[in-house]
Structure 1
Amino acid sequence: MAVAQEELPILEALINIRNRLTALKMDRGEYIKPSDVNSLYQAVVKQVTKLNDVRDDNTTYSNRVDTTLADVFSLLSLFFLTIGKTRDAPATYSQIASMRQILNHMNESGVYNEVDLAPFQRRLKDLRQIVQSDAEGSKHNEALTKLLERQLNECDSIVRSLQESLSVLSPELAPIHLKLVHIRRQLAALAAKEGSHKAELKPLQEELRKIDSLKCLSLFETVTQNCSTHLYPPHNPFSTSSLFIIHLEQHRKRVDGKFLGPGGVLPSSQAICSSLLEECFDVAQEIKAQEESKNVPSSLKPIHDRLSDIRTELESLVLTHRWTLRETDLWNYSLSLQEIDKMRVEGKFVDSEGNRPSGQYVLLYILRRCYGLIYRLLSSSEPVSEELMPIANKLSTVKKCLNEVLKYGGPFNPRDLYPYQLALHQIDSLRQDGKFVGSDGSIPEGQGIVMAHLNECHELLEMLKESMDEAEDEYYDEDDDDYADTVSSEN
């Protein structure tokens, strides 16, 4: 859709804001100042207000203004996370966007169950509470609230759609579906691994063949008649263990490619399980083909290498994010993944001639894995500003050390505790009027968390001092007793 004439000044202003945000993101020379983020946020709100004035609420728009605005909000959201304002409405935008990407891929793959959807439901509820709380307090512009509510509603709609697709599963097919989802994930992970997979692939293929030969009795009937409560406790009737599938092997089979229920009745939701089973066989076959070729097809190799590099870097960040991650760094990874995702044609990666080479499952697995890692990093962001994070990390380390010393005990002397006292004294000296102050004189986010860590460290140190004093008292008491015994023996 072309940009309307009256929207051109807004587009120009948004591009300028995006450039300023990008420049601020790349500046590693100093910490990001909340005042800079707030001024850019106010500039965005101003443009959104103008945009709402020239647009019709009942019309759906999708042009360059919208894509640029999405970029700006994504970047701005990451900045809010970086300065520790994780409970502010703008900070939720990037998390909602990341969640929507994962949900869309889950919908596309069909590899999910109720357990997978539950965390997304809880997180959406938490994010909605943040947005509504800010709206009730008039903390942010109404236009932003509407935007976030719309994004949340879209995610809720996807989750409901996924739940509805699972609701048609009959009780007879539920355990088979759970098992197939589990196998499908194992196969996808196996496909993305390097080296030989014969030993790991064989048992998965055997399980698929067993499922392919099953005849669906009622699950509850089978559990009641044939399964001991020791193996299959009542609170977990949908056990997906291999033992469960093996036990039912003699009672189930497919006829004309369909699962049969008690009395030869066809349970509903045949398509879900049958298509998932066939897909599992396809992935297993592709893994075997890869074993023979040893590599991803050359036409997909650049994409594979790029995705592998991104995954490696993100997995490293998951381990070290407390010390090395600035949330705005995730912007580049998100952009790269979106670019790769857009290369797909009807869900498949194609070569220069429009063909669909093998190795699709490998690329999709790594792509979805990367999306999941970004979401994990966004969700684990703490309400502590970038400027206070080094102090929080240092206190966390000191606290762990003090807990270990307290756990294993002495003997130790005042010299042993001196490094911890010095570290806490250095941190205490950074405070002004009881607050940690930023380089620009502002009060960074996360004061409460850092102070809680600091107080806990002081308490642990006092406990160690008390235990040391008690040990000294016992030592002197023993000396006094020895001296008294010596005197009495001499007399």
Structure 2
Amino acid sequence: MTDSPAPRIPLDPKEQPILDKLLSIRTNLELLKQDRSTYVKSQDVIDLYSKVIEQVVILNEIRTTKRLEQNRVDTVLDDCFQLISLAYLTIGKNHEPPAVYSFVSTTKRLLDHLKEATFYSPKDLESISDRLEDCRRYTERGKDAYSPHLLTLLEARIAVCRQVISELKLNLSHLTPELTPKWDKLVSILRSLSACNTRSKFPNDEVDDYLEQLKQLEEELKAYGIYAYESTGTKEEKVAEMTERLMISMEHPEPAPEAKDLIATLLRRNFVWIVTIKKKQGRIAPAFREVYDKLLEIKNKLEKLTLTQSWSLRETDLWGYQRALDRVDETRVDGNFFDAVGRPADLYEQRTLLYLLRKSYATIYQLIVSSEPVSEALLPIYNQLTTLRKCLLEVKKLGGVSSPRELYPYSMKLNSIDNMRVDGKFMVGNDIPEGQGSVTALLSECFEIAYDLRNDAEDSSPEEKSAPDNESGGEVRESEGDVRESGGEVQLK
């Protein structure tokens, strides 16, 4: 895999052995993620993590007087940390400091793009802030078990992200509670328009619908003295407009000038973007077609993963997408894309490519956030239990069952999963994969729902009360008792 772009300066001869070992570790990590014949084992990942930390210690000793230096060693080191971080997610150690690294790196990229775009929702910032707070807690909790070199790095990166969030929140601080929903709507429309623009067939009708929504918003915003464009009519028309504004302001006090400018600018951007994309109809200039196709392919693949994540995603696979996006992102100069002869992209190509880039980073962020704290070795069982739980809850929502016999399929499946445990744990060979507690809790919940459904059915069907336990689903209760005695542990053959 090609390195992500990074400053290249002459390598200190003392750092060459470190680079060689890091390259070897990165190769081992890549082989680990590519091997689909078996699941990723915790001990393999932990051993490689320890080897990386050994090289970090040596590197820090060499760089006592040049802490800010960046060369190929740092690029490969970042690759190793990214792969190890995603591997920790793969083995279910989501709440350990190494797993935080990849999330924080992706978050920083996402925040930089939000800052550059200058439009985002307050809810976006709240969600990211909450996740960063979780990362801070995981880092704090791991101080006794993990290298201070890693923890110091994570703490610094989390602090940088929090600083950017503070700046972004400040930009929206002038929005009043009445204007915030309208701002959110404008953000949503602009994102939706960009999504329409990348469809294989341009959806004119859908874009026209968004145009109508914008016109309606424009009318609503006039009550707050916010206009997309200033009047260019005659003197009499301008006086009439000023009179109308005065009447409106008596009913709705005008917001701060900063808020008015913020919303008016975004409103104009929406109108301009609609005109532009309707004119272009999805046609990209040939000079930027290659990078467009590449970004569109990445975006589509990532979105497909969101649909099949629980069944097909190995988190380490995200590294390839991260690096491909980083390489494209780093080719920009002053925020713009340039063709092969150094000509900058027009507004249409620039915004279209940026949308694809930002959407892909946001999807990677969402995939990392939604990763379950369960080893991929246990995911087949975890996914089956998740599906069973959904089915049982749907049955309960629809009024339950008329007879305990209707629960037989669920009882049989739950008992077959329960019988996989060895001494209260799901085992894979001689290994005890991570995520035992999560699987056990889910199994116990399924038993509880099934037991409640059976009791409700027996209460409503007196003739079923006299049936023997082995015919009325009594084994469900017995298995539930087994789960409770196991103390929250689970295992897999």
Query: What TM-score, normalized to structure 1?
Result: 0.80
Q: 28-37 or 344-353: which moved more?
A: 344-353
Q: Deviations over 1:184-233 (max 9, x none)?
A: 334323322343454444565577789xxxxxxxxxxxxxxxxxxxxxxx
* Alignment-derived partner of residue 114 in structure 2: 106
2:172 match: secondary structure: helix
Could you tell me how far apart the structure 1 residues matched to 2:464 and 2:315 are? 53
1:300 match: secondary structure: helix
2:333 match: secondary structure: coil
* Alignment-derived partner of residue 305 in structure 2: 317
> Cα offset for 1:410?
3.8
The alignment of Structure 1 onto Structure 2 pairs a total of residues equal to 439
> Cα offset for 1:249?
6.8
Q: Deviations over 1:223-273 (max 9, x none)?
A: xxxxxxxxxxxxxxxxxx5662254579997379xxx99899993477655
* Alignment-derived partner of residue 303 in structure 1: 291
Could you tell me how far apart the structure 2 residues matched to 1:35 and 1:476 are? 51
> Cα offset for 1:182?
4.3
* Alignment-derived partner of residue 73 in structure 2: 65
Q: Deviations over 1:134-164 (max 9, x none)?
A: 11xx110000000101111111121122223
Q: Deviations over 1:77-100 (max 9, x none)?
A: 000000000110000111111111
For residue 438 of structure 2, what is the amino acid of its counterpart? I
2:372 match: secondary structure: coil
Q: Deviations over 1:283-333 (max 9, x none)?
A: 233213313xx5222222222222222222211211221111111111111
* Alignment-derived partner of residue 341 in structure 1: 329
Could you tell me how far apart the structure 2 residues matched to 1:299 and 1:361 are? 15
Which of residues 196, 199, 215 in structure 2 aligns to 1:193?
A: 199
Could you tell me how far apart the structure 2 residues matched to 1:189 and 1:374 are? 17
* Alignment-derived partner of residue 451 in structure 1: 440
Could you tell me how far apart the structure 2 residues matched to 1:208 and 1:324 are? 40
Tell me, yes or no, if structure 1 residue 15 matches structure 2 residue 23.
Answer: yes
Could you tell me how far apart the structure 1 residues matched to 2:226 and 2:262 are? 23
Contact 1:170 1:268 in 2 (8 A): no
For residue 353 of structure 2, what is the amino acid of its counterpart? L
2:111 match: secondary structure: helix
Which of residues 371, 374, 385 in structure 2 aligns to 1:381?
A: 371
The 5 Å alignment of 1:117-156 reads 117-135=125-143, 138-156=144-162
For residue 332 of structure 1, what is the amino acid of its counterpart? G
Could you tell me how far apart the structure 2 residues matched to 1:454 and 1:208 are? 48
Contact 2:82 2:102 in 1 (8 A): yes
For residue 423 of structure 2, what is the amino acid of its counterpart? D
For residue 58 of structure 2, what is the amino acid of its counterpart? K
> Cα offset for 1:368?
1.0
Q: 448-457 or 55-64: which moved more?
A: 55-64
Runs of 5+ consecutive residues of structure 1 not aligned to the other structure? 211-240, 478-491
Could you tell me how far apart the structure 2 residues matched to 1:460 and 1:208 are? 47
For residue 299 of structure 1, what is the amino acid of its counterpart? A
Indicate the structure (1 or 2) with the bigger Cα radius of gyration.
1
CA separation of 1:149 and 1:38: change in aligned 2, threshold 3 A:
same
1:299 match: secondary structure: helix
For residue 453 of structure 1, what is the amino acid of its counterpart? L
The 5 Å alignment of 1:33-48 reads 33-48=41-56
Contact 1:14 1:69 in 2 (8 A): yes
CA separation of 1:57 and 1:162: change in aligned 2, threshold 3 A:
farther
Could you tell me how far apart the structure 1 residues matched to 2:440 and 2:284 are? 52
CA separation of 1:71 and 1:252: change in aligned 2, threshold 3 A:
closer
For residue 341 of structure 1, what is the amino acid of its counterpart? D
Could you tell me how far apart the structure 1 residues matched to 2:123 and 2:258 are? 21
* Alignment-derived partner of residue 56 in structure 1: 64
For residue 456 of structure 1, what is the amino acid of its counterpart? E
Runs of 5+ consecutive residues of structure 2 not aligned to the other structure? 1-8, 233-241, 467-493
Contact 1:82 1:385 in 2 (8 A): yes
